[in-house]
């Protein structure tokens, strides 16, 4: 366990899960940055985080597709409409954390309460894969789902026994079978934007969203 370097208070997740009808994949990050870093009131809100630039490249060959005309914010409504239309649900692997340092780094996040993934899945019965964005999210989800942590850009099969134990109303043919691990969209992750987009594209193609 990491030693606390400060006495930061515990933070509850500030957003509700985004679970559109017919969602085919569930994307899970770690936890949002502090609110002063937000450029919109939605997931991956930090304008220096490249998630929505990755989406722009993958689906529209335009990294600025989800950026507002002022060039300083992400377009929340455009992002939400797109994700709902594609069947992409969004949340994080922690619903309560302590920041061991006053920053947004996953390295200094202590998870107080992990997300109840089963509860999320019960609201999206068409979900067929869980996609984690970064190492901490992948490790947290793998622990909950009874599988190995995937290599970056790959997936591991989720244990059927784990899924059946998580929720009695999950059917074998309707439960997610794969846990993906994709590179973090944070600029701290040492991979060029275009290379990250290639990895995301391969996952979206494999899951039939492209």
Whether pTM > 0.95 for this model: the answer is no
Separation between Cα atoms, residue 44 and residue 200, nearest integer Å: 15
Q: CA separation (Å) from 155 to 90, 199, 207?
A: 18, 12, 11
- pLDDT on residue 45: 97
List b or e across 143-165, with b for residues whose CB sees 16 or more CB atoms inside 10 angstroms: ebbbbebbebeebbebeeeebee
Which stretches in the chain have pLDDT values below 70? 1-7, 102-108, 160-175
- Torsion sign over Cα 45, 51, 53, 58: negative
- pLDDT on residue 1: 42
- pLDDT on residue 171: 43
Longest dimension (CA), the chain: 50
- pLDDT on residue 29: 95
Name residues whose C-beta falls within 8 Å of residue 179's C-beta, 6 or more positions apart in sequence: 129, 130, 132, 138, 141, 142, 145, 147, 150, 155, 156, 157, 158
- pLDDT on residue 197: 98
Sheet bearing 129-133, strands edge to edge: 88-92, 25-29, 129-133, 178-182, 154-157
């Amino acid at each position: 366990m990491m030693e606390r370097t400060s006495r930061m208070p515990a933070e509850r997740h500030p957003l509700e899960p985004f679970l559109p009808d017919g969602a085919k994949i569930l994307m899970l990050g770690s936890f949002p940055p502090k609110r002063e870093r937000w450029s919109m009131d939605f997931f991956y809100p930090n304008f220096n985080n490249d998630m929505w630039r990755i989406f722009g490249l993958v689906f529209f060959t335009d990294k600025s597709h989800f950026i507002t005309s002022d060039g300083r914010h992400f377009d929340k409504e455009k992002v939400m409409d797109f994700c709902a239309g594609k069947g992409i649900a969004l949340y994080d692997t922690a619903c309560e954390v302590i920041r061991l340092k006053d920053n947004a780094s996953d390295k200094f996040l202590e998870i107080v309460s992990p997300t109840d993934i089963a509860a999320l899945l019960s609201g999206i019965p068409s979900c067929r894969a869980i996609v984690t964005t970064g190492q901490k999210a992948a490790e947290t989800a793998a622990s909950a789902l009874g599988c190995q942590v995937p290599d970056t850009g790959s997936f591991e099969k989720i244990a059927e026994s784990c899924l059946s134990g998580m929720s009695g109303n999950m059917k074998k043919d309707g439960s997610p079978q794969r846990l993906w691990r994709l590179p973090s969209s944070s600029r701290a992750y040492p991979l060029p934007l275009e290379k990250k987009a290639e990895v995301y594209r391969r996952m979206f193609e494999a899951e039939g969203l492209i």
